[in-house]
A = this chain, B = another copy of it.
């Protein structure tokens, strides 16, 4: 199959190659009628501008790279939330005429440098989970590169971040449970410095309790990372402590899914005996029974903000970390105490 070039389109249209190039780039310099004719001929011949040539000449790849990194290897639960983010970012990029290169790997300084130095991508979006402290150490080495991370937004941290207002998310979830009359509310999630996002959700949980005149009982918190298995274990630990609780705020939906199993194993009903609120609004949250009340992180918006922010970074504009506002989605997993 012969490859059509702009020169051939030019001959067919009876104009110069430069005019073809201008016409297809919608340059205002070209006579509208000429432009239309050229576009028609290009379409008829399935002509597409060669991206390598275009990139080389213009020194822009119009491509961003998306790196999904995991500390723990591939056999862990991949959080469906990240899959949504992946899709949103890809769509947002497409809408701005950018392509997305995908890579799954450990985070390495080389990988990042390679993508920019080789002109494969103008900037990089990092999605992942795992230890924050390790992570931030690697990010520090990269401050010249155009790298944007989905994650916790913390004052003074190196690098550029976009993330959810986790504290606010924790607050609205807990306040909702308080309004239903619950006073003994469990919290499922790792609140160490290595998980600042969960820690912030916990802070919001504490804010709500204190504001309601209640105290925070550390016995009601059980560590869990974002997986069904881990959530199941954490909920069981809460039960085994025997302190009694009528509601659970789970720092992720996957964790909540595991907790639901644990509750049902105790022959308790949701929401009659135990109310549960999750975090993320993954697709399964709608489909499980009872449908899960949860805190939605707006992935569509997040994807757009991330792409726009990255492109500003690429242009050299000043960029601040940004917070996406979460929102409570009320479904069937919570009831009055």
Contact = CB atoms under 8 A, between A and B. Distances in A.
Contact of A52 (B52, B84, B102): B52
Interface stretch (A111-119, A209-217, A237-245): A111-119
A118 B283 CA distance: 35
A289 B232 contact: yes
Interface string A266-302: 0000000000000000011011110000000000000
Nearest to A283: B77
Interface string A23-42: 00000000000000000000
Interface residues of A, number: 58
A94 interface: yes
Counted per complex, copies of this chain come to 2
A319 interface: no
A227 B287 contact: yes
A219 interface: no
A63 B120 CA distance: 11
A113 B101 CA distance: 19
28 contacts: A1-B144, A3-B117, A46-B113, A48-B118, A49-B118, A51-B52, A51-B119, A52-B55, A53-B56, A56-B56, A74-B87, A77-B284, A77-B287, A78-B80, A78-B283, A80-B80, A87-B104, A90-B103, A91-B104, A94-B103, A99-B120, A100-B101, A228-B284, A228-B288, A229-B287, A232-B289, A258-B287, A265-B289
Interface of A: 1, 3-4, 46-53, 55-56, 61, 63, 66, 68, 74-78, 80, 83-84, 86-87, 90-91, 94, 99-105, 113-114, 117-120, 144, 227-229, 232, 258, 261, 264-265, 283-284, 286-289
